[in-house]
A and B are shown apart, each in its own frame.
Chain A
């Protein structure tokens, strides 16, 4: 197992903020909008340095999405920012008609996705957004895994023309990817090459998968770990290549098991190369209040859950 070390821990939303700071300095067409959550989205520096390119929308997300679509028409690159819950389900129809169907170059950049939002509870813990967004024709859906990857993804989506849903989170987690990485939309990252089982993980579950991989290695199980940061378009080649070797797969995500990364992988395997699959995902339920780590454990999204899923899937294969 390849060794991943880290010297600091940060939240992915700060990676977004750092990406926006850089974009503010390098791309004059980038503008930002926010629905009364500037501090949570970490875009203070962008606003301070580019006050004329920031639009405070107040607590009115539907209007923010429409304004973003309008800003894009004359050539600006708007980043509409809020919590994932309010930037997906609350404004689904606005995204569907004014952004996706209209093919507008709007970046919906949302924080506090999933259970790790923590104490605020289920009203704010969206676990359905990946599913909703990937259903929209033409929408790109990205869920980066740490500070550096989120920063790189933020810069990459500004250079890509088309609607993007960029999903990140609140908790402070290890920074284990390279600070000078080039983020390629739709291209999986090979975290660890292995032969016994494929683990495909996205977002906060990538670090959990690495920890699981280390423990599995101690037991003699050589896991191939792939980071799918872009859920749509899915890197089908990387997944098929891996399962051709391992013949079984575990998918891991901070999302409902219905409609997320796991279902995208299952659809691929069913039509191309059917191998046993196990899901590490929330089992069709809402979340609840609690500390992020407690919630990830209770809802079966930690490294221990990944190890159990690996053992189940290997047994099914054998």
Chain B
């Protein structure tokens, strides 16, 4: 897909996100909107993957979402890329749904390989999958997405030490740096100042990405891919805006975990052209 096509897809994914969250009046639109461009680029451009889902994922690139609360963007991108029918997005967060509040393998939604929600666990899982693929001598990559608030969790720093020590160089970890978490700006809640320097000090190669600029997302992902296989793990500091794409959801942490009302939904959708047909 070229950049224009990716942007069109991202617009539909953003519509899906706000419509899903509106329909059940719960969920996390802010981070989902901010990470839309990355997930669209990964699933429609960068990753080698098979929508005929197989848990083993042999000879496929794998993606792990660690900040599981941004499930709406994950669900939309999986459906839009062909893992399951788009109508099922209507069931998000409702009883008997495969689209649980946080992603899980438990309900067997195609495309999901790990449960996430309790934060800080996805990088470790991604490292494990990357080690497994190295043992099997696959020429594939593992991607992990984390939040910046999530960097408060200690397990991440255990994983950050492990990966360079064991030369896990088939791994690309992305941190969504939107500067917001539930209780306020990260700088006020728990400053993770100089995050980039910390990753470098732990032995990672760090790239920067403008996470809401599709051309830059695709470019930096290509750079990251080209940097793999050289003995060090790759991290991307992805600068995003929480709520990106919907003007009144941007600029604060307000829309981290609340749903729009009918009026707000209409205002949001007016900013997001329908490009692939709503669910």
Contacts and interface: CB of A to CB of B under 8 A. Distances in A.
Interface string B92-135: 00000000000011100000011111101111111111111101
B124 to A, nearest CB: 2
Contacts of B135: 31, 52-53, 76
B25 interface: no
A28 to B, nearest CB: 9
Given A102-B106, A103-B106, A70 B131 contact: yes
Contact of B158 (A31, A63, A78): A63
Contacts of A58: 158, 161-162, 165
B104 A101 contact: yes
A71 B132 contact: yes
A52 B155 CA distance: 24
Interface residues of A, number: 31
Contacts of B158: 57-58, 60, 62-63
A67 B114 contact: no
Contacts of B162: 57-58, 60, 63, 67
A264 interface: no
A66 B133 contact: no
Contacts of B115: 97-98, 101-102
A172 B181 CA distance: 52
A75 B56 contact: yes
B159 A66 contact: yes
A102 B114 contact: yes
Nearest to A71: B128
B62 interface: yes
Identify whether the interface residues of A are mostly helix, strand, loop, or mixed: helix
Contacts, number: 117
Nearest to B108: A103
B161 A70 contact: no
B58 A69 contact: no
Contacts of B131: 55, 67, 70-71
Nearest to A52: B135
A73 B57 contact: yes
A162 to B, nearest CB: 13
Interface in B66-115: 104-106, 113-115
A93 interface: yes
B230 interface: no
Given A60-B161, A74-B136, A66 B124 contact: yes
Interface of A: 31, 52-53, 55, 57-58, 60, 62-76, 78, 93-94, 96-98, 101-103
Interface of B: 55-58, 62, 64, 104-106, 113-118, 120-133, 135-136, 154-155, 158-159, 161-162, 165-166
Given A73-B125, A98-B115, 11 more contacts: A63-B158, A66-B127, A71-B129, A74-B58, A74-B129, A74-B136, A78-B128, A94-B121, A94-B155, A97-B117, A98-B114
